[in-house]
Amino acid sequence: MNTPAYIGRFAPTPSGYLHFGSLVAALASYLDARAVNGRWLLRMEDLDPPREVAGAQDGILRTLESYGFEWDGKLVRQSSRHDEYAALVERLLSQGLAYACTCSRKQLEGSQGIYPGTCRNLGHKIDNAAIRLRVPELVYHVNDRVQGEYRQHLGREVGDFVIRRRDGLYAYQLAVVLDDAWQGVTDVVRGADLLDSTPRQLYLQELLGLPQPRYMHVPLIIQPDGHKLGKSYRSPPLPADQATVQLIRALCALGQLLPEGARYGQPGELLQWASQHWDAARIPRSLTLAEAHLL
Ligand code: GLU
Ligand code: ZN
């Protein structure tokens, strides 16, 4: 069998149930894949058991099913991939590309999330320490299919970032890069809240000699105060019995056309129609809450 030209994925974190913003991301990645007969994978990013909400994994799967999404292959859980992450962290440490950091949260206050490199050359033991990846003093940029050119100076705007936390949990940035490559993902389609993570991921890909996927960051719904509609906001879980209506709203958020009589169709039929009429060029870069209310 030939490797398909397009492999996409949806990668929810079970720290909550799916909300409207996650539906928009899932739908965009699904339609972008299906429009070109690509594969669509599902990966549960369950890296952080303390923040996992009981029942969220099941709830996410059931919601996706009742909304008509069909994924290819078996669901992958990141919790089953610890050995791979551990091996990678070991390798980066032994190559001197990563190092142990013992800074407390208090010590990092005031650096506005940009790690100042305090422990870079201190040679701390790795026990009871976070592991950080050294970043180069370089600009990384991505040509995003919706957001356009995005640039970030890793040294100045991010600093050396955590790949394994002090409590031993692996960081999203590390796992996502390794797993996207392992699963052969060619196209990352996700919410625009992750745009500023992309340069870190590009650097990791470069460091590990992994191929760089295409990126498309779809709009978040912005609250009037600038907050995104998301888990931190406790936006309500998607109602299981309103699949068609919510899918129509999500299609509108993505600027897509609707079939006549969409309201009366089954979710699966709507998804099929939408994949045949998918036009990524219609996706807006952002959406205000006021616009979202009209959906
Ligand atoms: N697990 C991440 C989230 O739910 C998404 C990761 C990704 O799509 O790269 O926000
Ligand atoms: Zn430190």
Spell out the per-residue pLDDT of the chain, length 295, in tens: 556 699 999 999 999 999 999 999 999 999 999 999 999 999 999 999 999 999 999 999 999 999 999 999 999 999 999 999 999 999 999 999 999 999 999 999 988 889 999 999 999 999 999 999 999 999 999 999 999 999 999 999 999 999 999 999 999 999 999 999 999 999 999 999 999 999 999 999 999 999 999 999 999 876 556 665 554 555 789 998 899 999 999 999 999 999 998 787 899 999 999 999 999 999 999 887 677 767 7
93 C-alpha vs ligand 1 centroid, how far in Å? 26
Q: Do domains 7-80+183-195+212-288 and 82-172 have the same CATH topology?
A: yes
Sign of CA dihedral 195, 197, 202, 205: negative
117 C-alpha vs ligand 2 centroid, how far in Å? 6
Give CA–CA dist 45/76, Å, rounded. Answer: 9
Give CA–CA dist 92/100, Å, rounded. Answer: 11
103 C-alpha vs ligand 2 centroid, how far in Å? 4
Q: Name the residue with tokens 């950080």.
A: 132
Closest CA to 173 of 214, 220, 132, 112: 132
Q: Is 217 in the pocket of ligand 1 (CB under 6 A)?
A: no
Among the bound ligands, name the one nearest to the CA of residue 101.
2
Among the bound ligands, name the one nearest to the CA of residue 130.
2
Using a CB cutoff of 5 Å, list residues around ligand 2, an ion.
101, 103, 118-119
Q: Name the residue with tokens 């052969």.
A: 184
166 C-alpha vs ligand 2 centroid, how far in Å? 11
Angle subtended by helix axes 172-182 and 82-94, to nearest 10: 110
Give exposure, 135-154, as e/b (b: 16+ Cβ within 10 Å): beeeebebebbbbeebebeb
Q: Is 194 in the pocket of ligand 1 (CB under 6 A)?
A: yes
Domain spanning 82-172: CATH 3.90.79.10 = no
Residue 82 · residue 39 · CB < 8 Å: no
Q: What's the confidence (pLDDT) of residue 227?
A: 61
The residue whose CB lies within 8 Å of the most ligand 1 atoms, and thus the one to mutate among 18, 190, 229, is 190
Q: Is 190 in the pocket of ligand 1 (CB under 6 A)?
A: yes
Closest CA to 33 of 66, 8, 63: 8
Q: Is 183 in the pocket of ligand 1 (CB under 6 A)?
A: no
Pairing of strands 76-77, 39-44: parallel
Sorted by where each begins, the domain ranges of the chain are: 7-80+183-195+212-288, 82-172
Give CA–CA dist 287/295, Å, rounded. Answer: 11
Give CA–CA dist 176/192, Å, rounded. Answer: 16
Q: Name the residue with tokens 């990645």.
A: 29
Closest CA to 257 of 10, 71, 22, 35: 35
Q: Is 160 in the pocket of ligand 1 (CB under 6 A)?
A: no
Q: What pTM value is reported for the model?
A: 0.94
Which CATH number is 7-80+183-195+212-288 given? Answer: 3.40.50.620
190 C-alpha vs ligand 1 centroid, how far in Å? 7
Instruction: Report the nearest atom of ligand 1 relative to the CA of 15.
Output: 4
Q: Enter the DSSP assignment of 259.
A: -
Q: How far apart are the first and last CA of the chain?
A: 42
Query: CA dihedral defined by 217, 221, 222, 228, rounded to 10 degrees?
Result: -80
42 C-alpha vs ligand 1 centroid, how far in Å? 11
